[in-house]
Structure 1
Amino acid sequence: RLKERERSSRGKMEDVLTPTGDTILDQAVRQWLQYDRNPKTISMVQDLVKKGAVEALRECFSSRMEFGTAGLRAAMGPGISCMNDLTVIQTTQGFCCYLEQSFKDLKERGVVIGYDARAHPPSGGSSKRFASLAAAVFISRGVPVHLFSDITPTPFVPFTVSHLGLCAGVMVTASHNPKQDNGYKVYWESGAQIVPPHDVGISKAIKENLEPWPEAWNSEEALKSPLLKDPYQDTFTQYFKAIQKHCHHRDINKSSEVKIVHTSVHGVGHAFVQSAFKAFDLPPPYAVDQQKDPDPEFPTVKYPNPEEGKGVLTLSFALAVTEGASVVLANDPDADRLAIAERQDSGQWRVFSGNELGALLGWWMFHCWKEQNPDAAVVKNIYMLSSTVSSKILRAIALKEGFHFEETLTGFKWMGNRAKDLLDQGKTVLFAFEEAIGYMCCNSVLDKDGVSAAAIAGEMVAYLATKTKSLSQQLTAIFEEYGYHISKNSYFICHDQDVICSLFERLRNFGGKTESYPTKCGRFSISAVRDLTTGYDSSQPDKKAVLPTSNSSQMITFSFSNGGVATMRTSGTEPKIKYYTELCAAPGNSDVTHLKKELDDLVDAIIDDFFEPIKNKLQPKQE
C-alpha cells in the first residue's frame, strides 16, 4: 500500500508542469500534492498550476490557517489556508499529540466528535467527512472516539465531554458563517472551549505533525474500529433530562395556547428544538417548512445568521401571520445561538437585540430561581456572567437583588471556563450571555446553547401570557425597575489588517502624542480608557487592566461621563471592526426618547472622531 501511495505521489508531482518561479510557493505546492489524497483538491491545485494562476496559488498556500482559541474557521477548498481533508488531518494530528502530552489517561477516556450539515461539493469537503477523518487520526493512535452518527447542535459536544468525563471534544461547524466556510471548534476536559495557552500549544503541535500518519486517511477502517462509539442516543436522552431541571411551570406550559414559530435557518436545530419543547410540555412551535431541513446551500437567506435581523426572518414572519403566532424563535445553523422577535400591536415585528434578550432571560432565570428558593440568604451563592462588550443590565439586577455578577473577556470560552471555576467552588452559575445572541441557561453545557434557550424562552412567553404581558412589556418593566440600558452595536467590514492597525494605533497615540488616548469624543467627555490589547486601564491605581490581555487582537473600551460605554474591537472569525455602545441610566430615569437621542449622538461622534480617517477604506454593515 505504501509503495502504491509513493507511486501515486510521484505521478502527482509530475503533473506540476509549470513552476511558479517562487521557490517557497513551489515547495508548498509540491508538499501538498505529496500529502493530499483527495482527488478533487488535488485536481484543483493541478489545474491552477497548469494555468499559471500564481495569485490564486498564493491565496491557497501563502499562509496556514491560524489555530486560535476559537479553533479554525475558513473557506473550504484546496491549500493550507482552507478547510479540507488534509488540513483537518494535520490539525487533528497536532491536537492529538497535544492531548497525549496533556493527559496520561487519554487512551482510557477518549474524545467526542460532532458535526453539522455543511458541505462543499467542488472540493469534496463536508462536516461529516472532516469528522470521520478526525476520528481516523485519533483511532490510529489508540484513542477512543465518540463520533456522533448524525448531525447535532454544537452544544451536544461540550455536554458529552462533561457527561462522559472525556479529555476533549471537537465540533466541525462554521456556525453562522457563509455557506463556503467550515470550522474546527475545540473543547477541553472542562467542557468549555480552550483558552490560552492551549491554543499556542496546539498550533505548535500542528506544525510539527504535517505529514499524514499512515492510517490517517483510512476513515472507512476507523469507522469499523472497536474504539469507535456512537454517543447519539445517550447524549440525546441525558441532554433533555438535564435541561428539564430548568422547567418550572409545567402546568402553565401544558395549558398554554401561545403560538410560537421556530426556524433553524437550514441548519441542525429543528428536531432538537421540537424535542426541547416536548421536554418542557410546551405545544410544539410551528416550523418554517422551507428552512427546517438542513441544507448547506442556505437557499432562502443571503446570510445564515439570525443576528442580522429581519432579512433572515422574513419567512418566519409570514408563517407567524398565517398561524396567528406572536413570537418567532430562530437558531443559527449549528443551534448554539438564539434570536427572538415579537409581533407588536401595530403589526410590526420587533427583533430583540442580544442585550435585550440577555435582560429578559436573566430576569426570567432569577425569577424562577427565587420562586424555588425563598431563603434570601442563599442568593449570595448565585452568579451571573456576561462578556465585557455586553449590556451591564445583569450588574444592575445583581446590585439590587444581592447576587454576584462578573464580567469576562469577549467570547463564551471565557464565560464557560469562569463558570467551571465557580461551579468547582460550589457556587451556582444561573445564567451567562453575550450580546451576539449567545445564552447559557443550563450549566450542564458550559457554552452558549440555542436549544435549551429556546425552550426556556418558550416557557417564559407562556408564563407572561398568563399575566397578559408581552416580551416587550416585560422588558420595559425590567428597565423601569433596574434602570434603562440602551445599546447600539454595529460593525464595519475591513479586509486590510494595516488599515485596522492604523485605526487602533491612532487611538493609542491620539493627537500625535505617544501613548495618549483621547479625552473627548465630540461633545462627550471620556472618563476612563481600558485597552485589553496593551493591558492599560486608566481606572486602576496602577493603570494595569484586571482582565486578561492579548496583543493578538484589538480591543479598547471608553467610559464616558454621561454613563455611556463604548468598546471597539476586531472580530476573531470575520474581517470586521465591531463597535458596542450602551447608555446606562439609574432607576427612575424613564425618558427613553432622550436616552436614545443621547446614545445616537454618542455613536455619531465615535464614527466621526474615531473612524473618520479610514472611513473610505471601510464597508458598512451588510443589511
Structure 2
Amino acid sequence: MENGLSSTGDIKLDQAINQWLQFDKNPQTVALVHGLVKEGAVGELRRCFGSRMEFGTAGLRAAMGPGISCMNDLTIIQTTQGFCKYLEHCFGEGLKERGVVVGFDARAHPPSGGSSKHFASLAAAVFTSRGVPVHLFCDITPTPFVPFTVSHLGLCAGIMVTASHNPKQDNGYKVYWENGAQIVPPHDKGISVAIEANLEPWPESWDTTSHSPLLKDPYQDIHTEYYRTIQQHCHHREINKSSEVKIVHTSVHGVGHTFVQSAFKAFDLRPPYAVEEQKDPDPEFPTVQYPNPEEGEGVLTLSFALAEREGASVVLANDPDADRLAIAEKQKGGQWRVFSGNELGALLGWWVYQCWKQTNPDQSTVKAVYMLASTVSSKILRAIALKEGFHFEETLTGFKWMGNRARELLDQHKIVLFAFEEAIGYMCSSALLNKPPGEVIRAMFDRLRHYGNQDQEAVSYPRQCGGVPITAVRDLTTGYDSNQTDNKAVLPTSTSSQMITFTFSNGGVATMRTSGTEPKIKYYTELCAAPGNSDVKGLQKELDDLVDAIIEDFFQPMKNNLLPKPE
C-alpha cells in the first residue's frame, strides 16, 4: 500500500478498497482495512469487498465489519441515501411533508464501532440532510413498532435496524412502505439502483450530533397508542383478571422484556415470570448458541428451569427483535411440548375466528372475512375456512407478502382476521401489519429440475420419491405449475430464491426452499389422510418414510458430491 492506496494485484478489488478509504470516516473500520492491506490478507479483503450486499425485499442482512459486503457506517449511509432518493422519486414533496420512522434493536459490534442505535442515527441524519422529517426512536423497540408507526402517523416509509434472530455478528436493515408492510417488487430493484447511483456520502450524512428540528422522538406516543390498539383485541378481560395460569417469558437477550410486560398489563393478565439471565438486551447473546426460539428446546432450557421452580405451565419466547413467538406447554406427564409454528397458527387462527364469531352474531358478514398463510405453512386454515365460510388465501413466504395482501384486502373493505407462517410468525390484528455457497444451492435445485436427465436444457422433475408417485409440481423459481392448464404458476415467482413444491399420490405435500436469512435449505412436509383413515401412528410413519426418502433421493447425493469435505 502506497500513499494510502491498496495494491492486491486485483484491479477491481483495489478500486473497491481505495474508494472505501476515500469515503469512510469511521476510524475503526478504516484501521481494520489498513490492517488487512498491510498484512496482505487478500482472502479476507475479497470477503469484505468482493461484492456489495444485495438489497432485496427483506432489505439487507449481513455481518458487521468493514467493506461493501458488510453492515457498517458507510454502507448504512449509502443504502439510506439510495432509499431517500427513491422515496423522493416516488413521493416528491410529499416525503418532506410526511416523513419516515427509524427504529433499532440492541445489536453491537465493538471491533468495527457498529451498533444498531448508531446505524439508526446515521440513517436519520441522511434524511434530515434532505429536509425530510424523521421520527427516530430514542431507545430500542420491537420491530412491530416501526410498521405501526408508519400506519399510525401516515408516514411514507419506515426503517428497522435489526438482524432479528441471526447470529450475534450480524445486523440488518428492514424497510417498510407507506402501507405498513415490508417492500415487494419493484421497489427493491428501484432502491438497489438508487443506492448504486448515490455511493459517495453527502457531507451532512455523517453528522449525528446536530439537533435538527426535523428529528422527533415517537417513543412515548407510539408506546401508548400501540397498547391502546391491541387492547381492542382483548375479548375476555374478566377471565384474564382471575386467571391462575402461570407463564414464563424470555426475550432471549433481545428487546422484548419491557414490551411483553406492558402487553400483559394491557390485557389484565398477571405479569409473566421473566428469565433473569436473558431478560436484558445483550448483543453477545451469552446463554444461547443461536438467538432463535424456532430452534426449540435448546433456547428454552433456562425458561423450563424457571417454570419448574415457579410452577408455571406455559413458556413464551420472543426472538431478539420481538416479532416472532415460540410457545411451550407442560404436559400431564411432566414433559414440555414445544409447539410448531403450524400448530400455533392453527390454534391462534381458530381462537381469533371464534372470538370474531362471538362479537359478530350476524354471520352474513363472514364472506368478507379473510385469513392468510404462506405457501409452506399448514393448510389447516383452509379446512376451517371451508367449514365456516370465510376466505383463505396463500401467499409467498414472508410477512412482506402477507402484509401487502392484507393491505389490499383492507382497502377493498374486507376483514383480515389473521395471518401466519410456519416460522413462528403471526398477525393477530390487521392494525399491526451467511448462506451455503450459491453454486451448491443452484446445483441441488437444478438437479430436481433435470432429474435423471443429463440434458440441462430439458426440464424433467422427479416422478416419484420412495416409491410414492408425484402427481403435481409447482416451481416458484421458474414459474412452472403442472396443476395449471398452461403450466404457468398463479402465485408470483422469484428467480432470486429457490422453491419447489411436490404433491404426492398418498396426500403428501413437500416444499423445499432456501432460507432467506440462514445457512439452510428448508423443507416442509404434510400428509392429508383419506376420509375415514384414523390410523395416526400409521400415517405418521408414512410421512416419516416420505421425509426420509426426500432427503435420501433428492438431496443426499448432491450434498455428498458438492459440499466441502472436512480436512
TM-score, with structure 1 as normaliser: 0.88
In the alignment, which residue of structure 2 is the partner of 1:22? 10
Q: Contact 1:170 / 1:185 at 8 angstroms: preserved in 2?
A: yes
CA distance in 2, matches of 1:588, 1:283: 44
Residue 47 (structure 1) shift:
0.3
**How far apart are residue 619 of structure 1 and its match?**
8.0
**Counterpart Cα distance in 1 of 2:138 and 2:236:** 34
Find the aligned partners of 2:169 and 2:71 in 1 and give their Cα distance. Answer: 10
Give how far 1:575 is off. 2.5
Once the 2 structures are TM-superposed, how far is the Cα of residue 591 of structure 1 from its aligned partner? 2.3
User: What do the CA deviations read for 1:560-590 (whole angstroms, capped 9, x no partner)?
Assistant: 1111110111122223211111112356543
Q: Rate the CA distance shift 1:203–1:357 in 2: closer, same or farther, 3 A.
A: same
CA distance in 2, matches of 1:593, 1:579: 22
**Match status 1:583 vs 2:524:** no
Of 442, 451, 454 in structure 2, the residue corresponding to residue 510 of structure 1 is: 451
Amino acid of the residue matched to residue 501 of structure 1? R
Alpha carbons of structure 1 residues 570 and 437: separation in structure 2 relative to 1, 3 Å: same
Q: Map of 1:268-347 to 2, 5 A cutoff? A: 268-347=255-334
Distance 1:13 1:45 in 2: 14
> Unmatched 5+ residue regions in structure 2?
none
The runs of 4+ residues in structure 1 deviating greater than 3 Å are 586-590, 617-620
Asked if the contact 2:288–2:299 (Cα under 8 Å) also holds between the matched residues in 1, the reply is: yes
Change (3 A) 1:533 1:424: same
CA–CA separation in structure 2 for the residues paired with 1:183 and 1:324: 38
Q: RMSD of aligned C-alpha atoms?
A: 1.4
Equivalences for residues 248-287 of structure 1 within 5 A: 248-287=235-274
Residues 472-498 of structure 1, C-alpha deviations (whole Å, 9 max, x = no match): xxxxxxxxxxxxxxxxxxxxx962211
What is the aligned partner in structure 2 of residue 43 from structure 1?
A: 31
- Residue pairs, 1:317-466, within 5 angstroms: 317-446=304-433
Residue 233 of structure 2: SS of its match in structure 1?
coil
Report matched runs for 1:20-169 at 5 Å: 20-104=8-92, 105-169=94-158
Correspondence 1:571 to 2:497: no
Contact 2:64 2:169 in 1 (8 A): yes
**CA contact 1:95–1:206 (8 Å) conserved in 2:** yes
- Given residue 127 of structure 2, which amino acid in structure 1 is its aligned partner? F
Q: How does 1:580-619 map to 2 (within 5 A)?
A: 580-585=524-529, 589-616=533-560
Q: Measured at CA, do residues 158 and 263 of structure 1 come closer, stay the same or move farther in structure 2, by a change above 3 Å?
A: same
Rounded Cα–Cα distance in structure 1 between residues aligned with 2:171 and 2:532: 47
Q: Indicate how the Cα distance of structure 1 residues 366 and 311 shifts in structure 2: closer, same or farther if over 3 A, else same.
A: same
Indicate the larger mover: 589-598 or 232-241. Answer: 589-598
Q: Is the 8 Å Cα contact of residues 352 and 418 (structure 2) preserved in structure 1?
A: yes
Looking at structure 2, the residues matched to 333 and 533 of structure 1 have their Cα atoms a distance apart, in angstroms, of 31
| Shift in alpha-carbon separation, 1:163–1:119, aligned structure 2, 3 A | same
Structure 1 contact 494–619 (Cα < 8 Å) conserved: no
CA–CA separation in structure 2 for the residues paired with 1:434 and 1:77:
32
Deviates more, 1:563-572 or 1:280-289: 563-572
Assess if the C-alpha contact under 8 Å between 1:429 and 1:443 holds in 2.
yes
**Helix, strand or coil for the counterpart of 2:203?**
coil
Distance (whole Å) between structure 1 residues aligned to residue 105 and residue 198 of structure 2 = 26
Partner residue in 1 for 2:191: 202
Unaligned runs of 5+ in 1: 1-11, 447-492
One-letter amino acid of the counterpart of residue 613, structure 1: P
| Other-structure match for 1:228 | 215
Residue type of the alignment partner of 1:135: A
Pick the aligned partner of 1:524 from 468, 477, 496.
Answer: 468
Identity across aligned pairs (percent)? 79
Contact kept in structure 1, 2:97 and 2:132, CA below 8 Å: yes
Amino acid at match of 1:151: I
Q: Is the 8 A contact 1:384 1:431 kept in 2?
A: yes
Give the secondary-structure state (helix, strand or coil) at the position aligned to 2:194. Answer: helix
In 2, the alpha carbon distance for the partners of 1:269 and 1:197 equals 32
Q: Aligned pairs, how many?
A: 560
Alpha-carbon separation, structure 1, partners of 2:38 and 2:318: 44
Residues 502/138 of structure 1: CA separation in 2 closer, same or farther (3 Å cut): same
- Report SS of the residue matched to 1:216: helix
> What do the CA deviations read for 1:436-459 (whole angstroms, capped 9, x no partner)?
00000011111xxxxxxxxxxxxx
Please state whether the residue corresponding to 1:205 is helix, strand or coil: helix
Q: CA deviation at 1:529?
A: 0.3
Output the amino acid matched with 2:321.
D
Moved more, 577-586 or 398-407: 577-586
**Contact 1:135/1:147 (8 A) holds in 2:** yes
- The TM-score with structure 2 as length reference comes to 0.97
SS of 2:510 mapped into structure 1: strand
| Amino acid aligned to 2:540 | K
